[in-house]
Amino acid sequence: MNKLLVLFLLVTLCSASESTVNRPHIVFILADDLGWNDVGFHGSGQIPTPNIDALAYSGLIMNNYYVTPVCTPSRSALMTGKYPIHNGMQHAVLFGGEARGLPLAEKLLPEYLKELGYTNRIVGKWHLGWYTKEYTPTYRGFDSHLGYWTGHQDYFDHTAVEGANWGLDMRRNMEVAYDLHGSYSTDVFAKEAVNVINSHNSSTPLFLYLAHAAVHSGNPYNPLPAPDETVEKFDYITDYKRQRFAAIMSKLDDSVGTVVNALAERNMLENSVIIFSTDNGGAEAGFNLNHASNYPLKGGKNTLWEGGVRGAGLLWSPLIKQPQRVARQFMHISDWLPTLLSIAGGNVSQLENIDGVDQWQSLSEDLASTRTAILHNIDDTYGNAALTVGTWKLVKGTTDNGAWDNWYGPSGRDYDYNATLVIDSVTGQALKSINISLTPEMIEVLRNFSTISCSNSNIRDVTCKPVEASCLFNITEDPCEMNNLADELVL
């Protein structure tokens, strides 16, 4: 009897080990308020982003990838697989004193992954609720958290200013991390991500959610916080504020290289899936202004124009069957939950009441996307909404009476692009160590394919006034939303 029990336990343990050992490590790097034109792979040469670009060129550049207009709704969609209108987070962002959060009834991505044997770590920004402890990360599926709960912070003193309120927000799990005062947030989070990777038992799967503060603006007294020595590298940028933004962006790019290199050194890279994404468009104007660039797209953060919802994003993994291309698949940030569960070997068919679509096979094998429509948002408070179905995008209403319904830029299109920086970057060398190589010729081709150009760049549509009437665009032919077709196509 004892021998049978021992045999049963051995079989059970072996089965459990086999069920987790082949599941890939998942690293999701979420940038904050990053513009379409702030990464090199979309055509800008002003701010080198060699580490991010190296992942993009060796994986998939997501050219039809959509997020929501602001932080909290996008993060809620990522974590639940639902449109924000279906999880109650569709309007605006969470502020420090708000007694609300992502509803506790929602099952989140790390909770699904935990059922598949994953260890879940969050580093950086949460922004989905904190007014009771049950809303915080370690009560919602994450095993640890180093970072902050609210929407932004100063990168050096780690405080957040919201109107008349000002407080420290940097934590290790539930405890305030006073000792990190003075350390630059991007470096703090990169170092913690490396610690997570180095301390992880690589025979079991890891989900690392690295949600950076960068490139969100800081507090009013220091809106574009960056180390002076990094700012000095960009003295060729004459716009002082854009220069400081470039320094913040450069530190973000460095952190990506740091994380990829750590995975390579632990021999985890070959069994990893890495996503890099923004949470919304860059804040070229309006609140949280950080001097990002969404050129040539219209609008920016907190708008439903392409500059607010078309996200800079990439997917990298040796598991992709058709890599090194510009992916045209139609994808929404809510799709990551079922897609990542599919990659991890979960049973996606058991997911109920979600809006996200499993895109793994479509992306990996370059097949047509099963998604044909995206609800960009319905905000009943602002009174605006946008929907894309196939090639057609409908926009109804606007934000702040249309104050940000403009085109901005260009920023960075007059600078040469250095492909050698990409190849020789920390990420480029880490990829080379697992026999993934890039060439200048390949980089040039992919970069050209992923760069949006609008033929009539000097023509601006004056007939689109979404406060008065809905506007309609053929978003495939007119990604810059310059030609309102609503009157022409009324039946």
d(CA 258, CA 190): 7
C-alpha separations of 424 from 12, 247, 323 in Å: 46, 20, 20
Residue with the two structure tokens 């078309």: 310
DSSP secondary structure letters along 103-114: -TTSPPHHHHHH
Confirm whether 212 is a catalytic residue. Answer: no
- Which pLDDT score is estimated for 4? 53
Structure confidence by residue, pLDDT tens digits, 181-207: 999 999 999 999 999 999 999 999 999
- Which pLDDT score is estimated for 17? 44
Q: Which amino acid is at 143?
A: D
Question: Mean pLDDT in the chain?
Answer: 94
Residue with the two structure tokens 């979309």: 42
Q: For residue 129, how far is the Cα from the chain centroid?
A: 19
Sign of CA dihedral 427, 429, 430, 432: positive
pLDDT band at 18 (very low <50, low <70, confident <90, very high): very low
Q: For residue 310, how far is the Cα from the chain centroid?
A: 11
Q: For residue 223, how far is the Cα from the chain centroid?
A: 21
Structure confidence by residue, pLDDT tens digits, 356-399: 999 999 999 999 999 999 999 999 999 999 999 999 999 999 99
3-state secondary structure of 386: strand
Q: For residue 356, how far is the Cα from the chain centroid?
A: 16
- Which pLDDT score is estimated for 25? 99
Structure confidence by residue, pLDDT tens digits, 419-444: 999 999 999 999 999 999 999 999 99
d(CA 261, CA 69): 32
Residue 318: asked if its preceding bond is cis (omega within 30°), the reply is: no
Give the E-state strand segments of 279-418 in sequence order.
Answer: 313-316, 325-327, 331-332, 373-379, 384-389, 392-396
| Number of neighbours of residue 163 by Cβ within 10 angstroms | 8
pLDDT band at 15 (very low <50, low <70, confident <90, very high): very low
pLDDT band at 455 (very low <50, low <70, confident <90, very high): low
Residue with the two structure tokens 């009157």: 487
Residue 19 pLDDT > 90: no
Structure confidence by residue, pLDDT tens digits, 226-271: 999 999 999 999 999 999 999 999 999 999 999 999 999 999 999 9
pLDDT band at 454 (very low <50, low <70, confident <90, very high): confident
Tell me the mean pLDDT in the region 4-8.
50
Q: What is the dihedral of CA 216, 221, 225, 230, to 10 degrees?
A: 150
- The tokens for 105 are 């009834």
pLDDT band at 40 (very low <50, low <70, confident <90, very high): very high
Structure confidence by residue, pLDDT tens digits, 394-417: 999 999 999 999 999 778 788 999
Q: Which residues are 168's β-sheet partners?
A: 159
Q: Which candidate in 127, 145, 212, 332 is catalytic?
A: 127
- The upper half-sphere exposure of residue 487, i.e. CA atoms within 13 Å in the direction of its Cβ, equals 10
Q: Which candidate in 71, 464, 471, 480 is catalytic?
A: 71
Tell me the mean pLDDT in the region 461-478.
92
d(CA 253, CA 153): 19
Q: Where does 24-369+416-457 sit in CATH, by number? A: 3.40.720.10
Taking alpha carbons only, the member of 451, 422, 450, 415 closest to residue 45 is: 415
Confirm whether 71 is a catalytic residue. Answer: yes
Q: For residue 463, how far is the Cα from the chain centroid?
A: 33
- The tokens for 116 are 């598949």
Q: What is the dihedral of CA 32, 33, 34, 36, to 10 degrees?
A: 140
d(CA 475, CA 126): 32
Angle of helix 50-58 versus helix 440-450 axis, rounded to 10: 90
Apex 422 CA angle, 421 and 424, nearest 5: 65
Structure confidence by residue, pLDDT tens digits, 77-93: 999 999 999 999 999 89
Greatest Cα-to-Cα distance within the chain, rounded to the nearest angstrom: 83
| Number of neighbours of residue 174 by Cβ within 10 angstroms | 11
Residue 158 pLDDT > 80: yes
Residue 308 pLDDT > 50: yes
Q: What is the dihedral of CA 176, 178, 180, 181, to 10 degrees?
A: 130
pLDDT band at 472 (very low <50, low <70, confident <90, very high): very high
Long-range CB pairs of 469-474, under 8 A, 24+ apart, other chains included:
470/394, 470/395, 470/396, 471/394, 471/395, 471/396, 472/392, 472/393, 472/394, 472/395, 473/392, 473/393, 473/395, 474/391, 474/392, 474/393
d(CA 385, CA 379): 6
Taking alpha carbons only, the member of 315, 202, 169 closest to residue 269 is: 202
Instruction: Report phi then psi at 325, rounded to 5.
Output: -155, 165
Taking alpha carbons only, the member of 210, 319, 214, 337 closest to residue 262 is: 210
Tell me the mean pLDDT in the region 27-38.
98
- Which pLDDT score is estimated for 457? 52
Tell me the mean pLDDT in the region 444-458.
85
Tell me the mean pLDDT in the region 279-292.
91
d(CA 312, CA 469): 29
Taking alpha carbons only, the member of 374, 381, 379 closest to residue 355 is: 374
- Which pLDDT score is estimated for 488? 85
- Which pLDDT score is estimated for 73? 98
- Which pLDDT score is estimated for 20? 57
Residue with the two structure tokens 């703090």: 188
- The tokens for 166 are 């000002």
3-state secondary structure of 215: coil
